[in-house]
Amino acid sequence: MTGPAEVPANQALWDVWSHIHRHSEMYDVERFLAGESSLTEIDRAVVGDVAGKSLLHLQCHMGTDTLSWARLGARVVGVDFSQVAIDHARALADRLAMDAEFQRAEIGALDRVIGDRHFDLIFTSYGVLSWLSNLQPWAREIAHHLAPGGHFHMVEFHPTLGLFDHDGKTVAYPYFHKAEPFVFEETESYAGGSHPPMACYQWSHSLADVFGSLLRAGLKIIEFKEYPFCCHNCYEFLREETPGRYVMKEYPGLIPLLFSITAKAPSKCK
């Protein structure tokens, strides 16, 4: 899905970030191990009841959300392209003695690790799309691995949030997709913790890109929502308005910061 230099560079960055996140205040793994759910109010409202259902979590990172769905009764499989993140996820599952499967896989190559399995639910959230150069293979895999009548749920940062520079005042990046990635040099994680300079590559995707890829893959969009707040304080230009809800300092409540999509697979295989 991406060029030869981009995936290894991004994987290396997420390997480093996964080590940082394991001990970060934002992820608060110890509270999670003590029973705290990592799911947001939007996650639970969008996905609904998962008890007894099979759930594939794409780009699952360290697995706290995956295991939170398992605590609610789902049979879970989590995939991520960072081996370090997957190792942390497996360690968390072992410590909790929970039945959960975690596999290292890149989007576009899921069949290599999960075969031809199909799931009642597929879920992904918060900062996942910008690491994908092309959404069409992503959407095709979602459609392929959904069981007939199954649902795909996504909660993601709104494309408008990605327009702004670090000050939250200046529009610095385009809304529309470009084939060439943005190249950044990172020296710290969004959850804190510094590291030596590392390159990373990201892409913007419009709402039309997201909708179009899912529709072309044969899925039916059954719900779409936009939210004037963010559930995670991972941008410098956000401030906490109410507990767990963050808005832009400069434009509070004026632009959407998150969106959610629910799509459904055909009831019968074609």
Task: Read off the DSSP letter of residue 181.
Answer: P
CB atoms closer than 10 angstroms to residue 26 = 14
Give the pLDDT score at 211.
98
Ranges of residues in the chain with a pLDDT under 50 are 1-2, 269-270
State phi, psi for 196 to the nearest 5 degrees.
Answer: -60, 155
Contact yes or no for 2/201 (Cβ under 8 A): yes
Give the pLDDT score at 5.
81
Q: Is 205 helix (H, G, I), strand (E, B) or coil?
A: coil
Query: Could you tell me the domains of the chain?
Result: 6-264 (3.40.50.150)
Per-residue pLDDT tens digits for 27-62:
999 999 999 999 999 999 999 999 999 999 999 999
Q: Residue 73 contacts by C-beta under 8 Å, 6 or more apart in sequence?
A: 50, 51, 52, 53
Give the pLDDT score at 3.
54
Residue with tokens 């996942």: 128
Per-residue pLDDT tens digits for 180-199:
999 999 999 999 999 999 99
One-letter-per-residue 3-state SS of 68-134: HHHHCCCEEEEEECCHHHHHHHHHHHHHHCCCCEEEECCCCCCHHHHCCCCEEEEEEECCCHHHCCC
Q: How far is Cα 146 from Cα 54, in angstroms, rounded to an integer?
A: 10
